[in-house]
Amino acid sequence: MDKKCVWIIFTKSLVLSNRCSIAFDGCDYYCTEAYVPSYDEGIPPIDKMITQVKQKLSQDYLELKEVKKCIKFISDEWTTSTELNEEVIVYSQKALSENRIMFGGFRPEEIEEITQYNHIISELEI
């Protein structure tokens, strides 16, 4: 059997009930990363991983509304010493060691939109 790896799925979810255990500030949508352990068999069945994330979110009264992106965690690519990178490494390692889906911190959609940035290939030094 192939080695286990982690896929990071960037999500946007709707709060369905005030029974949700996560402390929210009244926004409708919240974003987070789901760290999903998977066997490294090339490209995994993304739909299966998304279904697992959806089920895990629904247990806490959240409804998955959108998947922003999905990337494979490759530890060599997260070597810059920043708080965000350290969080990614910790959650990825924990998801692997416990063999379960882990979620990063939840943030309101408004914060997500302000802090998101994208690289355009022509802007990168290659």
- Over the stretch 36-82, which tens digit does the pLDDT of each residue have? 998 766 667 888 999 999 999 999 899 999 999 999 998 888 776 77
Helices (H) and strands (E) in the chain, counts: 3, 5
**Dist. CA 83–CA 85, nearest whole Å:** 6
Q: Model's pTM, two decimal places?
A: 0.83
**Dist. CA 93–CA 58, nearest whole Å:** 24
